[in-house]
Chain A
Amino acid sequence: MKIIKKVPNIDFMGLRKVGYRLSLFLIILSIFSFFFKGKDSLGIDFTGGGLLNIYFSKPVPIEEVRKLIKETNVEASIQSYESNRGFIIRTRSEFIAKIREKIKKAFKEYSPDVREERSIGPVVGKLLRKQATLAVIFALAGMLFYLGWRFEWIFGTSAVLTLFHDVIITVGMCILAGRKLSVPLIAAFLTIVGYSVNDTIVVFDRIRENLKLMRGEPFERIINASINQTLSRTLLTSLTTLLAVLSLYFLGSATIKDFSFAIAVGIVIGTYSSIFIASPLVLAWRKEKRKKRK
Chain B
Amino acid sequence: MEKSILYRVILIVLIVGLALWSFYPPEKKIRRGLDLKGGMHIVLRVEVEKVPKEDRKNVVDLALKIIRNRVDEFGVSEPVIQRQGEDQIIVQLPGVVDTERALKIIGQTAQLEFKLVESDPDLLHQALEGKVPEGYELKYLEENGKRTPILLRKKAVLTGKYLVNAYMDFGRFGQPEVRLKFNRKGARLFSRITGENVGKLLAIVLDGKVQSAPRIKEKIPSGEAVITGRFTIKEASDLALVLRAGALPAPIKVLSTLTVGPTLGEDAIRKGLRAAVVGGILVVIFMAVYYSFAGIIADIALLLNLIMLMGALAGLNATLTLPGIAGIILTIGMSVDANVLIFERIREELAKKKTIRVALDTGYKRAFLTIADANITTLIAALMLFYFGTGPVKGFAVTLSLGIICSMFTAIVFTKVVFDYLVYVRKARTIPIE
Contact = CB atoms under 8 A, between A and B. Distances in A.
Interface of A: 1-3, 53, 55, 97, 113-121, 123-124, 128, 131-132, 134-136, 138-139, 142-143, 146-147, 150, 183-184, 186-187, 190-191, 193-195, 197-198, 201-202, 205, 209, 229-230, 232-233, 236-237, 239-248, 250-253, 255-256, 259-260, 263
Contact of A117 (B99, B283, B323, B387): B99
A248 B373 contact: no
Contacts of B289: 1
Given A135-B384, A242-B333, A2 B434 contact: yes
A253 to B, nearest CB: 4
SS class of chain B's interface: helix, strand, loop or mixed? helix
Contacts of B376: 146
Interface string B320-362: 0011011001101110110011001000100000000000000
Given A236-B340, A240-B336, A131 B389 contact: yes
Closest 3 CB pairs of A and B: A194-B381, A244-B333, A247-B279
11 contacts: A55-B263, A115-B267, A117-B257, A139-B381, A147-B377, A184-B323, A233-B340, A240-B337, A247-B276, A248-B272, A259-B323
Contacts of A97: 99-100
A89 to B, nearest CB: 14
Given A139-B385, A240-B333, 13 more contacts: A1-B291, A119-B254, A135-B385, A184-B323, A191-B378, A194-B378, A194-B379, A194-B382, A198-B378, A244-B280, A247-B276, A248-B272, A248-B279
A132 B388 contact: yes
Contacts, number: 226
Given A2-B434, A150-B373, A245-B330, A193 B341 contact: no
Interface string B244-281: 00000000011111111101100110011011101110
Nearest to A136: B384
A248 B329 contact: yes
B283 A120 contact: no
B400 A205 contact: no
B323 A201 contact: no
Contacts of B283: 240, 243-244
Given A124-B43, A243-B286, A255 B388 contact: no
Nearest to B400: A191
B259 A114 contact: yes
B323 A187 contact: yes
B259 A191 contact: no
Contact of A248 (B97, B253, B275, B389): B275
Contact of B256 (A119, A142, A187): A119
A239 B279 CA distance: 12
A183 B373 contact: no
B257 A118 contact: yes
A114 B97 contact: yes
B393 interface: yes
Given A128-B390, A240-B283, A252-B271, A1 B290 contact: yes
B414 interface: no
Contacts of A232: 344
Given A114-B97, A117-B258, A183-B390, A138 B384 contact: yes
A255 B45 contact: no
A237 B298 CA distance: 13
A146 B380 contact: yes
A191 B381 contact: yes
A82 B380 CA distance: 36
Chain B CB within 10 A, most for which of A116, A194, A246, A247: A194
